[in-house]
């Protein structure tokens, strides 16, 4: 009985530490964008330009918008959960661009907990025991 009680007490004491995991991952944008699920879900009419990637001249600047997405990471690898939530964040920016009359999102940067990380090749994702999150900002524009 004491052994069983000891097991439950240690489980209760250690469970919060397991849930508090917040692993930072810097993952490749191109690898995600080249995947079939991204190609099938993202509208090719709305382009994304990460970091300071060259893009066509903006003929109309609509504004800077942000998204902060979370997804269930339970029973998924961190990379799998991060890819899924990255797609969700891009879809949100895409829908915003469409609704605002834009056809591109430029200067896309990670903005996790208000810490901006701008890169042409990587995005930032944080994964825990049960959740993964990606926060992005970008300027919605209309390009030629």
The token pair at 32 is 């995600």
pLDDT per position as a tens digit, 75-119: 999 999 999 999 999 999 999 999 999 999 999 999 999 999 999
Give the separation between CA 78 and CA 70, rounded to whole angstroms: 13
Q: What is the CATH number of domain 21-143?
A: 3.30.110.70
Three-state secondary-structure class, residue 77: coil
**Where are the chain's structural domains?**
21-143
137 and 111 Cβ atoms separated by less than 8 Å: yes
pLDDT per position as a tens digit, 32-65: 999 999 999 999 999 999 999 999 999 999 999 9
Give the separation between CA 88 and CA 103, rounded to whole angstroms: 18
pLDDT at 8 over 60: no
The token pair at 97 is 């661009």
């Amino acid at each position: 009985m004491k052994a069983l009680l000891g097991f439950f007490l240690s489980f209760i004491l250690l469970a919060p530490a397991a849930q508090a995991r917040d692993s930072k991952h810097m993952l490749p944008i191109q690898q995600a964008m080249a995947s079939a699920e991204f190609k099938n879900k993202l509208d090719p009419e709305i382009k994304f330009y990460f970091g300071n990637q060259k893009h066509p001249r903006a003929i109309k600047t609509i504004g800077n918008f942000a998204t902060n997405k979370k997804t269930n990471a339970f029973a998924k690898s961190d990379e799998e959960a991060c890819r899924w939530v990255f797609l969700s964040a891009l879809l949100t920016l895409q829908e915003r661009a469409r609704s605002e009359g834009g056809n591109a999102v430029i200067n896309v940067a990670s903005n996790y907990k208000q810490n901006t990380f701008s890169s042409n090749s990587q995005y930032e994702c944080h994964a825990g025991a049960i959740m993964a999150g990606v926060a992005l900002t970008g300027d919605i524009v209309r390009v030629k």
